[in-house]
């Protein structure tokens, strides 16, 4: 991907969200492709139900760049699952890793995931946010598709289908979906689940801060030692962006 496809004029987010308010996921993806062209990419953590978004999007945009942030602390099963989906869906996969190795980070900062919320936030900045921002720059991304759902967290419930994160637009095709919709899509298309789902994991991240969920718990309850629900990739990246979101009632 060598050329930008950012529209000549900024997108009217209110108008775009009104236009897509009743659109299904496929129509939203087609709109994003028509609007952003070669500037469109998607992300995948290759988590529990990652096959859903990957299958949905690549049926419409087969060659879309798929950004995979490898923190260096993922489960072995996640790496195997990513390779399984890469082969099955012929993914145009771009793997990005943090500039700081796990060994160096632990030598400098210690085991950040054991240092409360502040430690987790610094960890996410080093191992997830920085490589993601680098990926967006190097791949010349103007918009990215993310598979977040409004029923997953309070923050996600406040999102709109089309947002703007700093200089990059974000599009959420399955924002209105529920867990049942995901399960139905997986069954209808005979898609694989992450191997750890069978062991009680419903949201899968790094091995040191992910656990199986207990009966009755929220599906993201097993993440981040219960201290937070977001890794940082789907949160405002600047004070101005947060203020803008607050001001819009999101």
Question: Which residue numbers are catalytic?
Answer: 231
| Element containing residue 171 per DSSP (H, E) | strand 168-171
Q: Most distant CA pair in the chain: distance in Å?
A: 50
Place of tokens 């599906």: 219
Backbone angles phi, psi at 247, to 5 degrees: -65, -25
Mark 138-170 as b/e (b = at least 16 C-beta within 10 Å): ebbbbbbbbbbbbbbbebbeebbbbbebeebbb
Q: In whole angstroms, give the CA distance from residue 35 to residue 222.
A: 37
Position of tokens 């240092």? 115
String of b and e for 207-223 (b: at least 16 CB within 10 Å)?
Answer: eebbeebeeeeebbbbb
């Amino acid at each position: 991907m060598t050329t930008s496809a950012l529209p000549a004029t900024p997108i009217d987010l209110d108008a775009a969200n009104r236009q897509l308010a009743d659109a299904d996921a496929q129509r939203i993806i087609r709109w994003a492709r028509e609007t952003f062209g070669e500037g469109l990419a998607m992300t995948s953590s290759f988590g529990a139900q990652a096959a859903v978004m990957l299958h949905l999007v690549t049926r419409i945009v087969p060659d879309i760049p798929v950004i995979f942030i490898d923190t260096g602390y993922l489960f072995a099963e996640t790496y195997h699952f990513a390779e399984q989906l890469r082969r099955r869906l012929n993914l145009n996969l771009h793997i990005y890793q943090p500039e700081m190795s796990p060994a160096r980070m632990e030598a400098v900062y210690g085991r950040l995931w054991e240092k409360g919320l502040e430690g987790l936030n610094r960890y996410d900045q080093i191992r997830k946010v920085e490589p993601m921002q680098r990926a967006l720059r190097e791949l010349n991304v103007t918009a990215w598709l993310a598979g977040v759902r409004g029923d997953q967290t309070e923050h996600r419930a406040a999102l709109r289908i089309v947002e703007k994160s700093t200089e990059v637009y974000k599009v959420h095709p399955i924002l209105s979906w529920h867990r049942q919709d995901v399960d139905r899509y997986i069954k209808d298309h005979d898609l694989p689940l992450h191997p750890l789902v069978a062991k009680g994991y419903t949201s899968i991240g790094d091995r040191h801060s992910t656990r199986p969920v207990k009966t009755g718990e929220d599906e993201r309850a097993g993440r981040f030692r219960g201290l937070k629900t977001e890794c940082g990739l789907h949160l405002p990246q600047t004070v101005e962006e947060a203020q803008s979101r607050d001001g819009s009632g999101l």
